[in-house]
Amino acid sequence: MDPAPPSPSRPAAGQRVPMGVAEPAARPDLRRETVAFLGLGALGTPMAANLLAADFPLTVHNRNRQREEPLAALGARRAANPWEAATGSTLLCLCLSDDAAVRAVLLEGPDAASGGLAPGSLVIDFSTIAPASSEELAARLRERGVAYLDAPVTGGTEGARAGTLSVLVGGNEWDLERARPLLEVVGSRVSHFGPVGAGQRVKAVNQVLVAGSYGAVAEALALGERLKLPMEQVCEALMDGAAGSWALRHRSANMLEGRFPLGFRLALHHKDLQIALEAAAATGLELPLSARVAAIEAELMAAGHGDEDVSALARWFAPHPEPPPLATPSPVPSAEAAAWDQRYREGRDGWELGAPAPPLDAFLREDPLRPLPPGEVLVPGCGRGHEAALLAELGFEAIGLDLSGEALQEARRLHGADRPGLRWLQADLLDAAALRSAGLADGSLQGVVEHTCFCAIDPSRRSDYLAAVTRLLAPGGWLLGLFWCHTRPGGPPFGSDPQQLADQLRRAGLIPLLWEPARGSRAERSGEWLGLWQLPAGRD
């Protein structure tokens, strides 16, 4: 690896930097910098992906190391810890959840990033934290000869993927000009508001506006529904008038449907709103509207909705009951359905009438899935519904799908026909129209868990199956499966080489986060592979 190029020269101590210069005569070239990115969450991952797409060399690290995999597949270098990521990097980007996380990653312990930063390097903190914390961090880093910009962003995951975030900057203007080429990749508007801490103060104002606009939309929709108005038509009519807002345009449909995929996590907005309320209190100002929204958010978090989008405020104003169990959304071909019923009765679904798959069970109950965003997860070929019920137990919104009506009848008996977070659907995964009529739109799923359908399906149709899965997955969504890499005596031709299976999955646009022989498989099924594959977050 080539040695890191020298950092751009910085003004001498006490030297005044000319202000109000829009374009310095010798503007720094980002491609001469070395960049590290720490924090690969819903915003950080697409931001880092945009830097890679713009051909900037990048080192990444995340506490959940699996989140590094999609970026590594795009060309990023992985670092084992924050110190290693920072070592040799002249620009260090942070996009972390709160003050404690930023302080821990940057300053605390032997693996802290600050230990790897050389004098003359620059920290660009995209996190939303208290202004006082930014000022403290800047002072601590200044002692090491390291500069700091607080640069919180707004625009949600949509803006992060499109590179159209608004970046709210506090810090030295020279440092801003040095960082500007990078900032203009992640955001379409870069605004400088003054010294360190100013960006965080502007973000506090932003979060007050978000609280008011989301709360107003949720409240207005609840009123319209109680007045029995055609609310989709009402929203369309009001979007371009005085009542129009980003929240009305981009989140009203989700609120009306009672579905709240990320955007921006409600718990994080609650944290940000507390910062704004504390800043207001320090000036003697009361923010009664924001305080009420914060109280509502606290109630929703206590009820388990903190990981949903901020638009989940609509749950408080207009609670949506769990959907009833779904019947067949459209007629299933009787001959095909009868054949699957017969397979189920004879135990030829591959798992003795839908018995649990031990390696899949163990994986679902352990840590790897827990950091993945919550949302709807489909279990095709669900049989008796064991994995679907387990997903519901773990907090996902699980949908068990099967062609066999007898299998679904047994699943309902075992796990409940109206259990919260769990519903059943008799349909063919390849019948897109049927799935749409059941509410499964393209890009609506956070994940798919399966251990029979991919292998039991006719091999000539596997590409169609994978196309159906990737079409249903949201960007960043995942496929977890127990893949059979053998032929079971007397059974269908399941046998495939693991490399061939991996190639099929890659051709479908998926990236491997885990691909290994399945531990805990039954002896006669030693050819099973456990795979966790992800659809890149930057996919259009």
> Cβ of 162: how many Cβ atoms within 10 Å?
16
Task: Look up residue 295 and give its amino acid.
Answer: A
Per DSSP, 22 falls in state S
The structure tokens listed for 445 are 């799923």
Q: What is the pLDDT of residue 373?
A: 64
- Spatial distance between the Cα atoms of 531 and 512, rounded to a whole number of angstroms: 7
> What is the model's pTM?
0.56
For residue 425, the cross-strand partners are 401
| Helix axis angle, 246-257 to 198-226, nearest 10° | 50
The structure tokens listed for 75 are 């060309």
For residue 447, the cross-strand partners are 377, 478
Nearest to 59 by CA among 74, 79, 82, 40: 79
Q: What is the pLDDT of residue 349?
A: 42
- Contact between 248 and 235 (Cβ < 8 Å): yes
Q: What are phi and psi of 482, to 5 degrees?
A: -105, 110
Nearest to 446 by CA among 502, 398, 403: 398
- Contact between 146 and 114 (Cβ < 8 Å): yes
* Residue among 61, 203, 315, 343 flagged as catalytic: 203
| Helix axis angle, 198-226 to 131-142, nearest 10° | 150
Burial of residue 139 (CB within 10 Å: 0-12, 13-18, 19+) is exposed
Burial of residue 78 (CB within 10 Å: 0-12, 13-18, 19+) is middle
Q: How far from 314 is each of 97, 224, 255, 289, 296, CA to CA, in Å?
A: 24, 13, 6, 16, 10
Q: What is the pLDDT of residue 4?
A: 38
Q: Known catalytic residue: 228?
A: no
User: How many alpha carbons fall within 13 Å on the CB side of residue 98?
Assistant: 11
Nearest to 303 by CA among 316, 317, 320, 290: 316
**pLDDT 10s per residue in the chain (540 long)?**
334 333 333 333 333 233 232 333 334 454 578 999 999 988 999 999 999 999 899 999 998 898 899 999 999 999 999 999 999 999 999 999 889 899 999 998 889 999 999 999 999 999 999 999 999 999 999 999 999 999 999 998 889 999 999 999 999 999 999 999 999 999 999 999 999 999 999 999 999 999 999 999 999 999 999 899 999 999 999 999 999 998 999 899 989 988 888 778 888 898 898 899 888 888 889 888 888 888 888 888 877 888 889 999 998 875 544 433 433 343 444 454 555 455 544 444 443 434 456 667 777 776 545 456 668 899 888 777 888 888 888 888 889 888 777 777 778 877 877 778 888 888 878 777 778 777 788 888 888 888 655 655 556 667 778 888 888 888 888 888 877 665 444 444 444 667 777 887 888 888 888 888 777 655 444 567 788 888 886 543
Q: 400 in helix, strand or coil?
A: strand
